[in-house]
Amino acid sequence: MKTMKRLFGIVLMLMVSMVVKAQVVVAIGEFKGGTIVEKSQDGQKVTITVTPATDYYIAKSDIVVVPTVNPNPSTTRGDEEPPLAKPLTLEGDDPKDLSEERDYTFTVPEGLGAWVMEATFHSLVSGTLDGGITWELTGETEKTLTISGEGSAALGKAGVPWGDRSEQITQVVFGKGIDGIGDGLLNGFTALTNVEIQNDEAPVSLGKDALPAVKGLTVDVAGNLYNEYLTLDAWQDVEITSTTGVEMKGVAFGENNSYDTYVFDEPLVKPSMLNVLAVTGVKDNSVIVEEIEDIIPANLPVLLLSKELKGDDFRTAKASDEGKTYKSILYVAPEGGKKVEIGQVYLLFNDVFYFSQAGTIPEGGIYLQLPEEKESEPQKEPLTKTRSFLTIGNPADGTPTAIESSMVNGQCSMLRDQWYDLNGRRLNAAPTRSGLYIYNGKKVAVK
């Protein structure tokens, strides 16, 4: 009898033990971006397995597990059975790659169950920042982060939304509507090489450490704002370039030249450091020039005068900005080039327009041609083709245009090895008499 009672007591204890263990019930709902399942129980300890879906990640802090009296998903997901206030502590470390599967363990108080109340899986490819600003990641090993919307792009309370992929992002593009970059938005972007800002209305405002201190970082900005960004203190440590830069071909610096001729096939914004001149006429032995202040019109041959010229100093204008119309006596040689006789046109060489020799001006080469006189409208001062050279300036005020630096026109080989006297007459050969002459655009003393 005693033996039977002892056996009955053991069975009862086992049943009670099983009942106690059975009381640890865990309610787990469905979450977008990944799954959570119960893996095992050891007394009051419960282990769950967290598995992010492809292109999602989750950290331990994104998971909230609470003790509850009635851990039934049908009630605890609603308002019928609110959870107890204090969340349970998750044990286990986050992996370095937050998109990996991992286990967490928590301890449930006796007599209670547990409810995995929240699990915020974050997208690694797209999402939303504060204020409705959207972001998207594209690319495989080298990724581009594109931020779009209207307003300032800033991190919210949730922190960095693209997880641990910051080190893989090489380019960031801020859309046209983004007008600010918040504090530390690009922290951890150690591989970043390029930032593109498409807002062409006003320079974006910068928060503290908005741009990372990455060696070699360049910032491409909308063309019309190029010069304004150059003056901002916060941009002094990065190289400012332009998303609408126009590559300059055939322009080079030389020791004694300041001017060059050029023509563009689309309207461009005039850089602040560059003088751009339209050649509108001629008086006496000088060409009359008119400075272009803002937009360089398309297909207008111009003179360039600059201290410094870079390939990205020229930027396309807005579609609505076509620029002022200028009268011009500069022309562009057509396809196949333009054949000319001696003295028929003028070519720029060493900052002076000289009579051309007989030959062919290469296609795209720029030349100056005096307007033809009309019998019905004779010129007060006939534009006879006896002047062998024309200086650059504006005879109206008697002041020649300042020469500040050097540009060499590569199209002027037709002008080399030429001698002129001080009256502008070209000589057939090198002078034999002593005196001052002009040789290849420079004054030379012959003794």
Rounded to a whole number, what is the distance in angstroms from the first to the last CA of the chain? 145
Q: Which residue has tokens 């009296």?
A: 69
- What integer pLDDT is reported at residue 376 of this predicted model? 53
Q: Is 337 exposed, middle or buried (0-12, 13-18, 19+ CB in 10 A)?
A: middle
The pLDDT, as a whole number, for residue 89 is 95
How many CB atoms neighbour CB 437 within 10 A?
Answer: 18
Q: Read off the tokens for 193.
A: 């090489």
What's the rounded Cα separation, in Å, for the pair 128 and 408? 53
0.75 exceeded by pTM: no
pLDDT score at 48:
97
Cβ(58)–Cβ(101) under 8 Å?
A: no
* 33: Cβ contacts below 8 Å, ≥ 6 apart: 52, 53, 56, 58, 121, 122, 123
d(CA 355, CA 373): 19
Q: Give the separation between CA 279 and CA 288, rounded to whole angstroms.
A: 6
What is the C-alpha to C-alpha distance for residues 200 and 223, in angstroms, rounded to an integer? 7
pLDDT in tens, the chain (447 residues): 545 445 444 444 444 444 445 568 899 989 999 999 999 999 999 999 999 998 888 999 999 999 988 766 554 444 445 566 689 999 999 998 888 999 999 999 988 899 999 999 988 788 888 888 999 988 888 889 999 999 999 887 767 788 778 888 999 999 999 999 998 888 889 899 999 999 988 889 988 888 888 888 888 887 667 767 777 777 777 777 777 767 666 665 445 567 888 888 888 878 766 788 999 988 878 889 999 988 889 899 998 876 566 555 667 776 667 778 898 999 999 999 999 888 888 988 878 888 888 888 888 889 999 877 555 555 554 444 556 788 886 544 433 332 222 222 333 445 555 666 655 555 667 777 777 776 655 567 776
pLDDT value at residue 52: 95
Q: Provide the 10 A C-beta neighbour count for residue 31.
A: 20
d(CA 132, CA 144): 20
Structure tokens at 217: 């970082």
Locus of tokens 């650059």: 392
- Long-range interactions of 35-43: CB distance < 8 A, separation 24+: 36/63, 36/116, 36/119, 39/103
Whole-number pLDDT of residue 102: 96
Three-class secondary structure of residue 394 per DSSP: strand
Q: Which pLDDT value is given to residue 306?
A: 66
